[in-house]
Amino acid sequence: MTAFQGTAAAFQHVLTNQALLLLASIVTMYIVLGVLYESFIHPITILSTLPSAGIGAMLALIIAGDDLGEIVDALVAEDQASKLAALEQEG
């Protein structure tokens, strides 16, 4: 068995921690929602809708013939526009 080296090894190391990070983010969202709604049940009902919302978003992108790259491009463009506006206000 050959071991990965360089960038591939770093990527493989990141993937080993991804499940733990996903679990930690779900627990964090549950705690925040629990504090917000002062309930143990409401955060579960809210978090249970996320998988179907994600599937619906992906289906909408497929039907529209788009991909996630366009969403990322729009977010980057918005970030650059806000930075440019901030620079213009300073200058």
From first to last of its 91 residues, the chain has per-residue pLDDT tens of 567 788 888 888 878 888 899 899 999 999 999 999 999 999 999 999 989 998 998 899 889 988 878 777 888 888 888 888 888 888 6
Q: State which residues form the domain around 91.
A: 50-91
* Same domain, yes or no: 34 and 5: yes
Do 38 and 79 fall into the same domain?
Answer: no
Q: What pLDDT, on a 0 to 100 scale, did the predictor assign at position 91?
A: 67
Are 62 and 37 found together in one domain? no
Per DSSP, helices labelled H in the chain are: 7-37, 42-48, 50-64, 68-90
**Whether 35 and 59 share a structural domain:** no
pLDDT computed for residue 76 by the predictor: 85
Could you tell me if 42 and 59 lie in one domain?
no
pTM of full prediction above 0.85 = no
For the chain, the domain total comes to: 2
Distances (CA, A) of 70 to 10, 12, 31, 42, 67: 27, 27, 32, 33, 6
